[in-house]
């Protein structure tokens, strides 16, 4: 009888009807508002070409319909009278639903941000592994904070849980410290960017182009063709020369002329060097000086700048300078020096030196040549 009275309670059915209708109306209105706001943000993003508007539009599109319906139901339940127990449960429900939706928005924003970095025109110079690691770590942090907040709101003591997570994290870190050092080195490379894919680097006895920056290792294509795999942590300990980022290349070279060159022509050599270098494109002459009296030459030191980081272009320029110097010194009738030594004989007399005559061949009567005989 009591069960029939419960089901025949008009107030109950009235409240159910009110909640149902209100939930459907609120859900429809809220869904329309979210869709309209997302469309406006997308339109502004197209007009102003701003990434932030596009991200906001995509984030609103990721609004969960289930959580939106839960919000609508919670709002509708405010229209009827509920017991204190139900009111307490609703307060927790509000927090859980709101925390989940905020975490979803943050998660979607982080994923969209990472994808936008990798799909930009200059995405080829970025380290996709580093971007992915950072995105995953931030997403894990967001969901961890959300879970701990929900547990704390539900009355769970999270102090012991946080302490156990800290101890477990330390144990795991000690177990995989080598791997973690390489992972954090990869993050450092991605954030600080001492080099990117395509850079030409030199460290130790290794010289080559960066081919891949991974989670644990970096792969380098050497000049001789083989691939060199180096640990990220070990690579960051090296003093690394990045030649791809050179704006100019400072070149110093020396050459020598003979000691019998007249003083006037020695003076002309410096001007000749300056004229030759200035005549070559993409160069900037610095200086050319008669530097020193060396063992068998008068040494000149030349300094100039190549206005390019391309090594092949530098070699082409040096070749043109060398050819110009070769022709210029010939026109001045100045000779390049080469190692020469003088031998002085003091005292006594030189021994007689007889040079043997070459062998002679005597013809025979039958026309055949006779074997050579030494005379």
273 closest CA partner among 311, 329, 234: 329
Which segments in the chain show pLDDT lower than 70? Answer: 1-13, 42, 44-54, 80-89, 91, 117-130, 157-158, 160-179, 343, 345, 347-348, 350-351, 353, 355-358, 360-375
Q: Which two tokens stand for residue 185?
A: 């080195």
Concatenated DSSP letters of 16-55: HHHHHHHHHHHHHHHHHHHHHHHHHHHHHHHHHT-HHHHH
pLDDT at 330 (0 to 100) = 94
Q: Are 265 and 327 in contact (CB under 8 A)?
A: no
* Fold matches, 180-244 and 246-331: no
Residue 166's contacts (CB-CB under 8 Å, 6 or more residues apart) are none
Three-state SS for 82? coil
CA atoms within 13 A on the CB side of 217: 7
pLDDT at 255 (0 to 100) = 95
The single residue listed with the structure tokens 């080559």 is 208
Distances (CA, A) of 322 to 246, 307, 308, 325, 326: 23, 18, 19, 5, 6
The distance in angstroms from the start CA to the end CA of the chain is 151
Residue 341's contacts (CB-CB under 8 Å, 6 or more residues apart) are 296
Residues 150-191 have pLDDT tens digits of 777 777 766 766 666 665 666 655 555 666 777 778 778 877
pLDDT at 305 (0 to 100) = 94
Concatenated DSSP letters of 116-158: HHHHSTTGGGS-HHHHHHHHHHHHHHHHHHHHHHHHHHTT---
- What are the residue ranges spanned by the domains of the chain? 180-244, 246-331
Q: Which two tokens stand for residue 346?
A: 């003091």
Residues 32-63 have pLDDT tens digits of 887 787 777 767 666 666 666 667 777 777 77
pLDDT at 331 (0 to 100) = 94
Instruction: Output the CATH code of domain 246-331.
Output: 3.30.70.100
pLDDT at 350 (0 to 100) = 65
Q: Which two tokens stand for residue 278?
A: 């200035």
DSSP state of 194: S
Describe the chain by its helix, strand, coil percentages, rounded to 5. 55, 15, 30
The phi and psi torsions of 180 (rounded to 5 degrees) equal: -65, -35
pTM of the model: 0.48
The phi and psi torsions of 202 (rounded to 5 degrees) equal: -135, 130
pLDDT at 329 (0 to 100) = 95
Q: Which two tokens stand for residue 368?
A: 């055949």
What is the distance of C-alpha 96 from the center of its chain? 41
Distances (CA, A) of 171 to 167, 176, 183: 6, 9, 17
The phi and psi torsions of 358 (rounded to 5 degrees) equal: -70, 150
What is the distance of C-alpha 250 from the center of its chain? 25
Instruction: Output the CATH code of domain 180-244.
Output: 2.30.30.60
Could you tell me which residues are beta bridge partners of residue 210?
220
Q: Are 12 and 6 in contact (CB under 8 A)?
A: yes
CA atoms within 13 A on the CB side of 279: 14
The phi and psi torsions of 224 (rounded to 5 degrees) equal: -85, -5
Distances (CA, A) of 326 to 221, 231, 272, 273, 323: 37, 48, 11, 10, 5
């Amino acid at each position: 009888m009591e069960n029939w009275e419960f089901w025949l309670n008009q107030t109950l059915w009235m409240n159910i009807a009110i909640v149902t209708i209100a939930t459907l109306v609120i859900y429809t209105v809220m869904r329309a508002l979210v869709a309209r706001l997302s469309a406006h943000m997308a339109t502004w993003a197209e007009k102003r070409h701003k990434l932030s508007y596009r991200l906001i539009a995509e984030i609103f599109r990721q609004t969960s319909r289930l959580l939106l319906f839960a919000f609508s139901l919670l709002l509708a339940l405010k229209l009827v009278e509920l017991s204190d127990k139900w009111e307490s449960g609703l307060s927790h429900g509000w927090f859980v639903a709101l925390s989940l939706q905020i975490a979803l928005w943050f998660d979607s924003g982080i994923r969209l941000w990472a994808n936008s970095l990798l799909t930009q025109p200059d995405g080829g110079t970025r380290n996709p592994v580093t971007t992915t690691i950072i995105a995953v770590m931030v997403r894990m942090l967001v969901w961890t904070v959300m879970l701990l907040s929900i547990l704390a709101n539900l009355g769970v003591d999270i102090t012991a849980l946080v302490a156990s997570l800290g101890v477990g994290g330390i144990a795991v870190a000690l177990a995989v410290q080598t791997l973690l050092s390489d992972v954090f080195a990869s993050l450092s490379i991605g954030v600080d960017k001492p080099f990117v894919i395509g850079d030409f680097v030199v460290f130790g006895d290794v010289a080559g182009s960066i081919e891949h920056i991974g989670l644990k290792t970096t792969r380098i294509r050497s000049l001789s063709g083989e691939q060199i795999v180096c640990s990220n942590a070990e690579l960051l300990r090296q003093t690394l020369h990045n030649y791809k980022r050179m704006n100019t290349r400072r070149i110093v070279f020396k050459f020598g002329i003979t000691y019998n060159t007249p003083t006037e022509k020695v003076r002309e050599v410096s001007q000749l060097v300056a004229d030759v270098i200035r005549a070559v494109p993409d160069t900037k002459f610095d200086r050319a000086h008669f530097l020193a009296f060396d063992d068998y030459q008068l040494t000149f030191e030349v300094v100039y700048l190549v206005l390019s980081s391309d090594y092949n272009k530098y070699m082409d320029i040096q070749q043109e300078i060398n050819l110009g110097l070769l022709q210029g010194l010939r026109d001045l009738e100045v000779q390049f020096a080469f190692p020469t030594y003088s031998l002085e004989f003091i005292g006594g007399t030189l021994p007689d030196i007889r040079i043997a005559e070459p062998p002679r061949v005597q013809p025979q009567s039958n026309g055949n040549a006779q074997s050579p005989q030494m005379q």
